[in-house]
Amino acid sequence: QFIHKYIFPNGYLPSPKLLVKYAESKFVVEDMQNFGVDYMRTLQVWHKRFKACVAKGVFDPEKQDETFVRMWEFYLLYCTGAFKARITHLYQVVYSKKRPEIYIAPR
């Protein structure tokens, strides 16, 4: 896959199920929230700013050539689409040590 080869070699996105499973022996999952829609908007802003930087000639053409620009543009748009289609998610998880105190999630 493109992202594993060019952007995050050896990267891994654990599922929410695994985030809970691997923590449950030592921690309590106090809160889990999906920020995927917010991250989609973040990626859209990053793409807009990236294109503006390309148009201004901010990048050194010897170091960041056309392949570099296409690769990062593809990455930003691909991820935007994945979050929009709800294929990819961004979770924030709050863990606490197993103890009697109660965590109240701020909303």
- Active-site residue identified among 40, 43, 79, 80: 79
In sequence order, what are the residues at sequence separation of 6 or more whose Cβ sits closer than 8 angstroms to the Cβ of residue 59? Answer: 53, 68, 69
b/e string for 14-42 if b means 16 or more Cβ within 10 A? eeeeeebeeeeeeeebeeeeeebeebbeb
Q: Which of 43, 52, 41, 42 is nearest to 77 (CA)?
A: 43
79 catalytically annotated:
yes
Q: Which residues are catalytic?
A: 79
